[in-house]
Amino acid sequence: MTPYDAFLSTHKVMLAPMAGVSDVAFRQLCSEQGASLAFTEMVSAKGLSFANERTAHLIDLYAGEALVGVQIFGHEPNTMADQAKWIEQELDGHLAVIDINMGCPVRKIAGKGDGAALIQDPVLAERIVHEVASCVSVPVTVKTRRGYYDGVETCVDFARMAQCSGAAAIAIHGRFATQMYAGAADWGCIARAKEAADIPVIGNGDVFSAQDALELFESTGCDAILVARGAQGNPWLFAQINAALEETFGAAGDGPQEDCMRAGAFPTPEERIQMARRHAHLLDDHHPKAVVRMRKHASWYVKGVPGASAARAAFNSCSTVDDFDRAFDALLERLSHSPEGKQGTIG
């Protein structure tokens, strides 16, 4: 067993890196609810090399964040390696793992040769993994997709490549890059990669409930999972997954759950609104100019809550934390007069 195998034995349910989503505030909330490790948004190695403050702030830690995973993207091996080394030095013992994004399908990333574009250039991908793994002391992992073009599965060979070039593990999202996020994730490819590779395989894609997480583990044999869109507006999902794992297997993830709500429970509409309010204030505390990104988070939190449509319209005009407070107060007031007020569920 490698040190990373031991790491994954206790870090089974992690928050995936998501651009514009897994910032310092959201990482804190998900960790409190049981995410055993949370990844930063993906960080441009090129941006870091230019000493870009808008890039560097993505690796800021919240108070008490003992360990964090950092995902980097780019296509220049030397730049990727140099910036991985800088991140390790900057985080000074708080860095758990460097993940290399080789799966992002959006045009502004893949169109520049980064992200999912590297699926089509395994020789360059191998060089990048080797260079990064050679210059840091923490484990290096790769996050990729089933393949690039619809119907052309390459992740099994990609997993073998990652293993041979020094990766400690590979995370696989069960869609092709050309699918973006359409259709259903095919978890079968994760199982095939797990069978073929000797390094740990992390499953990703379409985990929206505790039952989804259990099925992903059981159907693929994966070593851990990354929760992505399922956690948007629903950090409680980690508590629900851990409760299900403990009930089914007798062991849950090892997340810091001192502040975790009652294990496995679904939040009331009021709890969801209060979590959204706390999220807005945490975001404002860390990056006041970025509080406008709370518009999408707030809309996710109130999905299915009576009065959500009017609330979303209000959120879209919010630009300060005080604006969000007023919008949350208005929604709570409407709920207090609604017969459905205490019956919302995660939708």
Closest to 138 in 3D by CA, of 103, 86, 73: 86
Q: Dihedral of CA 215/219/224/230: which sign?
A: negative
What's the rounded Cα separation, in Å, for the pair 19 and 142? 16
- Annotated catalytic residue 318: no
Strand partners, 170: 142, 201
What's the rounded Cα separation, in Å, for the pair 69 and 15? 9
Closest to 347 in 3D by CA, of 183, 182, 205, 208: 208
What's the rounded Cα separation, in Å, for the pair 231 and 21? 10
From 30, 104, 135, 155, the catalytic residue: 104
Coil, helix or strand at residue 147: strand
Closest to 13 in 3D by CA, of 299, 181, 260: 260
180, two tokens = 């973006």
Check: CB of residue 305 under 8 Å from CB of residue 335: yes
Check: CB of residue 225 under 8 Å from CB of residue 217: yes
Q: Please report where in the chains the tokens 């299915």 appear, as a residue.
A: 304
Coil, helix or strand at residue 185: coil
Q: In Å, how far are 53, 225, 244, 252 from 221, measured between CA atoms?
A: 40, 11, 17, 16
Residue 185 exposure: Cα atoms within 13 Å on the Cβ side: 23
What's the rounded Cα separation, in Å, for the pair 229 and 251? 24
Catalytic residues: 104
